[in-house]
Chain A
Amino acid sequence: MSGAGGTAAATAAWAHEGYEMVVGLEVHVELATRTKLFSGSPNRFGDEPNTNIDPVTLGLPGALPVLNRQAVELAIKLGLALNCRVQRSTFARKNYFYPDMPKAYQISQYDEPISVDGWLDLPDGFRVGIERAHMEEDTGKSTHVGGAGGRIHGSEHSLIDFNRAGVPLVEIVSRPDIRTPEQAKAYVSELRAILVATGVSDAKMEEGSMRVDANVSVRRPGDALGTRCEIKNVNSVRSVGRAIEYEARRQIAMIDAGEPVVQQTRHWNENDGKTHTLRSKEDADDYRYFLEPDLVVVDPDPEWIERVRGSLPVLPAARRTRLAEATGQAADSEAVLVVVERGQDSYVLAVGAADGDLGRALVHVKEAFAEQGDAPAVPAADLAKLTRLEVAGTLTATQAKQVLAALVERGGGDAEAIAAAKGFEALDTSELEAMVDAAIAAQPDAWEKFCAGEGKAMGALVGEVMKASRGQADGKLVSRLFNQRKPG
């Protein structure tokens, strides 16, 4: 499974016992700002605990928040990338007590968020509505020492690191449009790709700079929405799929057993693959939201918004379309997804521009450059030459792979010279035909089975030819020759 989420599977309907799942995702992302949302302390992951702090971060008496302009700009950028309307917005206080929340309230946008009413298209074209994307500050981080499982209950004492407190977040709330685990995974992957491409966030789920909560309910198709549960602690794309799959089945089992689904916040446990009750609706805090009196209205002027719009890079969806059109592949084909996700699409196009074959280039970049990251070390012109040799039939796919490995190792070079040095010569068809005939003679049983329609028997026959050609033969061509000889 590639990191780019589902392909064909995303379109397949999920259904269980006649129910469908209805899923909305709430994704928190840390913005890649230099400083915190309301103070000048650095926004940096991994520093010594309690070093990136100041009176505002610690909520000291008398300290006041001042909004970070860069955070607003990144929030606008994200809103635009998600096709939202960017609007006049305000901050509110969300009041509740927690030891790692220094003011005992979180400053968060509430009824007037900066971005509303957008959408995100999954690679297969499925559109997920975006309800809102609002700014808020992160809390500090508690580490519970002693007790079981790092939870606060039963722990001996807790340590608090306020480095994360006040880090700018945007919470992206989708509409409950998602109907399958694959769509949910594709949504998270696509959102992450957009965040990285725009530079809004590094979106590292493993470092917590991207965190996913899932709202899950089930219903019979066409019925009103069922009671939902919110799943917390879903920390990887894979967990997103597993958690909502488990949760939907759990709810269906309850309904079928005649028990009502109770609105709850539930905790996904990666180890046992289950969700567990965290708190029920009755225990929910009354957050007593009210307008934050220490801040003023955020009303970005239209010129600023347009300037930000102008700074948006080509987004992953458009890049996939571009690459798909150039290579003749489907936009949600695995090769296109993977190559765009790795940011190697412009390299593939450069190979095409250097008179290389785009289809072969796409395959090579997807497979051979898998470990190379953003900047393949082989000049586009060198790879272009290799693909030309392949297309011309001078090199087989197998040979081309070996030449490519040499190109990668040397950081480029002349594919023709490398092939010659390796002693690769195109086997002419008459040589191959002789080897095919020899294989049929050597493996009569396999040939009989193959002729009787057992496709699997082809393997032994092709293997025989490969052995004879010391791996030089083009597998596809060999298969074709066997098929031609098949009677009827």
Chain B
Amino acid sequence: MVDDPDGIPTTAADIAWGVRNGITKAADVVERHLGEIERRDGEIHAFNLVLAEAARARAAEIDERVSLGHDAGPLAGVPVAVKDNMCTRGVPTTCSSKILEGWTPPYDATIVTRLNEAGAIIVGKTNLDEFAMGSSTENSAFGATRNPHDTARVPGGSSGGSAAAVAANFAPLALGSDTGGSIRQPAALCGVVGVKPTYGAVSRYGLVAFASSLDQIGPLAHTVNDAALLLEAISGHDPMDSTSIAGGPLDVSRGLDFGVAGLRIGRITDLPEGADPDVTARLDEAFDALRAAGAEIVDVRVPAFTYGLTAYYLIAPAEASSNLARYDGVRYGLRVDAPDTNAMYLATRTEGFGDEVKRRIMLGTYALSAGYYDAYYGRALKVRRRIADDFAAAYESCDALLTPSSPSVAFHHGDKTSDPMQMYLCDTYTIPSNLSGEPGMSVPFGTGDAGLPVGVQVLAPALGEPVMFRVAAELERRAT
């Protein structure tokens, strides 16, 4: 990345280096990014809320720390856009839903605390599909987000606001959440790097739950190195999240220059079909590039991969039906008054939730119901175990897997809104690693139809982030 004409670096790594060493002012970094937001977010709508004044105050604080000779942290002065389903104390957190309108969390998510400790500057809360349910950021109660590469197209979703914010240079870093591909698919469609870490690597405390056993927070960035920096800042055990993995932060940046010589990269021969030719062409080139860099390409089978989508659309809605039951109008958010309690629940939830959320609540409620549990939810859990077993078998003969991130490049607004099934198919390649709890990341690799970005997905076994990042870094170096 080249510096801007005004001398401000564009990557998080360079900004943090410059700020820590007193070469770059955090205040200037913030002004430059607020300027971009001011100039273009009216059109893109990446943000639900821009925290201009808070960001300026933080920047001044950081510049002062530096001037006093203190360590300002590994992300000193780096603007970060945070998906609006992560709790920020004193700042509204909406999940892009009417039902949370007006609610202000009294506490910070663990990742927010860690961003602050690392010296990062939160510049705003980004748009998403309501409660992270969608693949286009069109299901937002506050309007759709546009893809900065072509504003007639979607940025992907559900972390479309975060991906667009990075792509549009509103912030060099963003946080998204990924339940079935919600970081990786928008990263691919917006031409940025997006990482879904191993389940439990990043605390979920303060992430508004969609499907608790699948949700995972991860970084979006321009570069693999920047994504690594952010992941290192936010990962590591959190006693507030019982599913958090013991141990310190992930160590992923160290191996970025190691190359891939000697690594075995798996090609899944029984991958579900449906990817567009421009996407598969880039995937083939990615294999070629890695082979050229010294990796061995091996064929593997992951038979249950293809059942991931079906299992996911039982498990995720089932958990969601329970997680979203708390939005009942009793304690916070929207309340639509009615003569009695049950009528109030009904009126509030009818008014407060959008169609896709309602669809999934109904799906999930049904899947868990007495008499249907075994046939639907119970069976989906068995498929989930099969997928994990099949991945484990594949990783016996390879170190990482390569697949498309998304079956297609960014599509036009409205293309898939009338057919939920078409929208769900966007996550065919990303869902299985959520079910297995393993890490995956999308890295830009060339362009496809209409010159739009294409992403390639790197998958690795649990806590295999170091290898995954090595492969991604190699692809980044060899991308055209």
Contact = CB atoms under 8 A, between A and B. Distances in A.
A61 B205 CA distance: 10
A290 B213 CA distance: 12
A293 interface: yes
B242 A97 contact: no
Given A58-B331, A61-B87, A290-B377, A102 B213 contact: no
A64 B205 CA distance: 6
Given A61-B105, A295-B242, A105 B325 contact: yes
A134 interface: no
A62 B208 contact: yes
Nearest to B86: A62
Contacts of A152: 341
Contacts of B328: 97, 99, 104
B326 A62 contact: no
Interface in A319-351: none
Given A62-B86, A62-B209, A66-B242, A55 B322 contact: no
A359 B106 CA distance: 64
Contact of A102 (B86, B204, B331, B342): B331
Contacts of A99: 328, 330, 341
Nearest to A152: B341
Nearest to A158: B341
A64 B240 CA distance: 7
Nearest to A55: B107
B105 A296 contact: no
A152 B208 CA distance: 31
Interface stretch (B46-54, B362-370, B417-425): B362-370
A50 B369 CA distance: 34
A363 interface: no
A296 B206 CA distance: 18
Given A62-B109, A64-B240, A286-B369, A95 B205 contact: no
Interface string B200-219: 00001111110111000000
B243 A294 contact: yes
Nearest to B100: A61
Interface residues of B, number: 43
B207 A62 contact: yes
A66 B241 CA distance: 7
A445 to B, nearest CB: 76
B433 interface: no
B210 to A, nearest CB: 11
B205 A63 contact: yes
Given A95-B325, A286-B370, A294 B212 contact: yes
B319 interface: yes
Contacts of B368: 95, 288-290
A160 B325 CA distance: 18
A102 B319 CA distance: 17
A354 interface: no
A66 B95 CA distance: 24
Contact of A105 (B207, B243, B322, B331): B322
A448 B469 CA distance: 112
B322 A62 contact: no
Interface in A96-124: 97, 99, 102-105
A67 interface: yes
Interface string A229-247: 0000000000000000000
A interface, how many residues as a size bin? 20 to 34
Nearest to A290: B368
B205 A62 contact: yes
Interface string A291-302: 001111000000
B223 interface: no
A3 interface: no
Interface in B360-386: 365, 368-370, 373, 377
B345 interface: yes
Nearest to A105: B322
B93 interface: yes
Contacts of A286: 369-370
Contacts of B102: none
B332 interface: yes
A65 B242 contact: yes
Nearest to B349: A97
A62 B105 contact: yes
B318 interface: yes
Nearest to B108: A62
Given A55-B106, A61-B93, A290-B377, A104 B370 contact: no
Instruction: Find the residue from A60, A61, A64, A65 having the highest chain B CB count within 10 A.
Output: A61
Contacts of B369: 286, 288
A97 B327 CA distance: 10
A344 B212 CA distance: 52
Nearest to B241: A64
B239 interface: yes
Contacts of A66: 239-242
A111 B373 CA distance: 14
A290 B372 CA distance: 13
A296 B243 contact: yes
A104 B349 CA distance: 13
A104 B326 contact: yes
A103 B341 contact: no
Interface in A60-97: 60-67, 93, 95, 97
Given A62-B206, A64-B241, A293 B213 contact: yes
Contacts of B103: 61
B105 A60 contact: yes
B179 to A, nearest CB: 12
Contact of B322 (A67, A102, A290): A290
A206 to B, nearest CB: 29
Contacts of A61: 87, 93, 95, 100, 103, 105, 208-209, 326
7 contacts: A61-B100, A62-B105, A99-B328, A99-B341, A104-B322, A104-B325, A294-B209
Given A97-B328, A104-B326, 6 more contacts: A60-B106, A61-B95, A62-B93, A64-B242, A104-B328, A286-B370
Counting from the closest, the 10 A-B pairs by CB-CB distance are: A104-B325, A293-B213, A288-B368, A293-B212, A61-B208, A62-B206, A62-B87, A62-B208, A286-B370, A103-B326
